[in-house]
Amino acid sequence: MKFERGLWNLQPDTTAIYPKAVTDVQIEDDALVISGYDHVVQGRSSFIHGTLITLRFTAPKPDVIRVQITHFKGRDVPEPSFDIAASDNADVEIGRDEDEAWLISGSLSVRVPLASEWGYRFYRDGALLTESEPKALGLFNKSGTHYMREQLTLAVGETLYGLGERFGPLVKNGQNIESWNEDSGTMSEYGYKNIPFYLSNQGYGVLVNHPGKVDYEMASHHVSRAQFSVEGRDLDYYIFAGPTMKAALDQYTELTGRPPAVPEWSFGLWLSTSFTTNYNEQDIIANIERMEAEGIPISVFHFDCFWMRELTWSSFIWDERFFPDPAGLIKRIKDKGIRVCLWINPYIAESSPLFDEGKAGGYLLKKTNGDVYQVDFWQPGIGFVDFTNPEACDWYCGKLKALLDMGTDCFKTDFGESIPVDDVAYFNGADPERMHNYYTYLYNQAVFDLLQREKGDGEAVLFARSATAGGQQFPVHWGGDNSSSYSSMAETLRGGLSLGLSGFGYWSHDISGFNDTATPDLYKRWVAFGMLSSHSRLHGSGSARMPWLFDEEAIDVARFFTQLKQSLLPYLLEVAQESVAHGWPMLRAMVLEFENDPNCRYLDTQYMLGNSLLVAPIFSDTGEVSVYLPAGEWRNLLTGEVTQGNIWRTDTHDYFSLPLWVNMDRCPDSLCNLEIEKPT
């Protein structure tokens, strides 16, 4: 959000209060508390009609500093709040002298000058990392609404990443980003997974500890600062010192939660009925048997929306017109060694038998007058499950448990983005604006916890679309509604890389695009990319995604890359353990692995799968692709060619190939000893 017009002026209908002087310093056992006054003190008269903004610096972990900024301390911060791991405060050094006050946590310190112009600086190992300069911190009144804003300086050449699954440029410099979940597709500035955390190529990260809307101006409104603001009179953020991007992700996910281990079978191919296609028991078995006959192994079969009767979503009742024996069908699928996934969502149509149950039990979100909150969206008259009510969670999960007892293995937790904020009353009194993004956390947590209880640790897995900070604990997430084009394939990858730089370990997408139907050329190129993602799903909207529906060669391509991923499974399981241990993504932007290589800062058309395998999807019907190999020795996994890096190369590939290079300087045995034979 923009508050100023350049250096001298404010935006229309905007007023500003900036701290200008330190009037008090309090040193507590675990905190440094600074009072910032909006006057330059020139005498006793300066203390009349002023404003205090209080800053509290603490250190929940070594190399991490928390900054809590408050105007009017008599107000309690409303719920919800991010589920940040409770911990004893880190050993800190807190002190002051005539010139400055300081707090030191491991390698990270904050220093507040006392005698000079207002501001505070963050240092890592004694070197300036970033700072809040004069007029960076401010309390603004814009059109009658108050906002607290912070701006942190950027070094020359500093690049910023993350903020969730964003489909625009990977580098966030120059962008205005609203951290607000929307059901929007992959072609826009909006996103399904907004995470108020960003990473710098200088090796540090910043989390804004606010579950509602956070507005970012990333080297845009002020081109040498990263700005974030929230509505209200409080602002709370953490700085993670790194000193590398991977270390900062490690520190961030230690506080907000790390991705758990997911079952080995989840890394295989997921085949879907797709959305609005006509399907029944006979068609499903026929498609599975055709995939088996073609030598294309399936790990999971997914039933999308129409396993339930139309207009009743979510009822969690099988449509017996097409599935007269659902338990028997599930058993026949599982007897083939294939798991079963069912589509669900948290919106309950009024034609669903669950609606009256939910209304009677008080399980649905209410309006402020006590009525059930209803809208005609997605299904007629939907209500929203109120996951702030423990009894509503038990009721909802009880319906899902019956499906697990029938043999279902996992759920696709769709939706969760279009959560109302006006005229809403939650069971626990939560603030609707703060609940908008956080709703998906409670939704996916409830379902994932059920799966852990029923299946056991290491066997629980979702296919989730929406998320906020901490949602990485409930994997897997997929990229939302993309389209069947090369440009959408590229935006899909950018979204996945951005999400990975926000603490999410696993990621998937709809291979060949959800909307429309891909050409055979695009389908085959996208299959290669999709099978070289952490998780892989064939899914669409109005048409199915079985390879024989495209051309005969697509069958061979799907077989080759599905089997290639099976060959990579030992390596992928090792990479997944790094996600569990450190919060690092399996699918990694080049800059994460080669932080000091300037060529990697802006690369978003190739990636590292783990730390050793470079993948460059092909985004053109010519088959031509340019790829950058950083310094080191590289071996082509498909041809055996060995070359030295620090080079760009352009090659043309057939449908059974793409740039797939192993970094021999960091290659584990599970990858170094692997040989892949291309079909002739």
What is the pLDDT at residue 42?
A: 81
**Dihedral sign from CA coordinates of 16, 18, 24, 28:** positive
What is the pLDDT at residue 592?
A: 98
Listed in sequence order, the DSSP H helices in 501-609 are 520-530, 552-582, 590-593
Q: Is the pLDDT of residue 86 over 80?
A: no
Q: Is the pLDDT of residue 90 over 90?
A: no
Torsion from C-alpha of 583, 588, 591, 592, nearest 10 degrees: 20
Average pLDDT over residues 525-539: 98
What's 160's DSSP letter? E
Residue 20, judged by CB atoms within 10 A of its CB (0-12, 13-18, 19+), counts as middle
Residue 137's contacts (CB-CB under 8 Å, 6 or more residues apart) are: 18, 19, 36, 53, 69, 149, 150, 151
Average pLDDT over residues 372-395: 98
CA distance 456 to 217: 43
Domains of the chain in start order, with CATH, are: 16-135 (2.60.40.1760), 264-344+396-418+434-582 (3.20.20.80), 587-672 (2.60.40.1180)
What is the pLDDT at residue 47?
A: 85
CB atoms within 10 A of CB 187: 16
Helix, strand, coil shares, percent, the chain, to 5: 25, 30, 45
| Percentage of the chain lying above the pLDDT 70 cut | 100
Residue 582, judged by CB atoms within 10 A of its CB (0-12, 13-18, 19+), counts as middle
Residue 523's contacts (CB-CB under 8 Å, 6 or more residues apart) are: 512, 545, 547, 550, 554
Peptide bond preceding 80: is omega within 30 degrees of 0, i.e. cis?
yes
pLDDT band at 264 (very low <50, low <70, confident <90, very high): very high
What is the pLDDT at residue 581?
A: 98
What is the pLDDT at residue 43?
A: 83
What's 232's DSSP letter? S
b/e sequence 335-366, b meaning 16+ C-beta within 10 Å: eeebbbbbbbbbbbbbbbebbeebbeeebbbb
| CB hemisphere CA count around 491 (13 angstroms) | 20
What is the pLDDT at residue 89?
A: 67
Closest to 65 measured CA to CA, from 132, 149, 165: 132
pTM of this structure: 0.97
| Percentage of the chain lying above the pLDDT 90 cut | 95
Q: Which amino acid is at 465?
A: R
Residue 440's contacts (CB-CB under 8 Å, 6 or more residues apart) are: 181, 416, 417, 419, 464, 466, 467, 468, 471
Q: Tokens 């017996």 correspond to what residue?
A: 320
Listed in order, strand segments (DSSP E) in 89-190 are 93-96, 100-105, 108-113, 120-124, 127-132, 138-142, 145-153, 160-164, 175-179
Closest to 447 measured CA to CA, from 408, 419, 479, 406: 408
pLDDT band at 75 (very low <50, low <70, confident <90, very high): confident
Closest to 132 measured CA to CA, from 67, 192, 194, 58: 67
Which tens digits make up the pLDDT trace of 36-60? 999 888 888 888 889 999 999 999 9
Q: 38, 215, 414, 459: which one is catalytic?
A: 414
Average pLDDT over residues 324-337: 98
Which tens digits make up the pLDDT trace of 352-365? 999 999 999 999 99
Q: 417, 459, 578, 593: which one is catalytic?
A: 417
Q: Which of 29-43, 54-68, 123-137, 517-531 has the lowest mean pLDDT?
A: 29-43
Q: Is the pLDDT of residue 88 over 70?
A: no
- 79 catalytic per annotation: no
Average pLDDT over residues 535-562: 98
| CB hemisphere CA count around 438 (13 angstroms) | 23
What is the pLDDT at residue 300?
A: 98
Q: Which of 90-94, 220-224, 394-398, 615-619 has the lowest mean pLDDT?
A: 90-94
- 481 catalytic per annotation: yes
Q: 38, 304, 481, 604: which one is catalytic?
A: 481
- 417 catalytic per annotation: yes
pLDDT band at 206 (very low <50, low <70, confident <90, very high): very high
End-to-end CA distance of the chain: 56
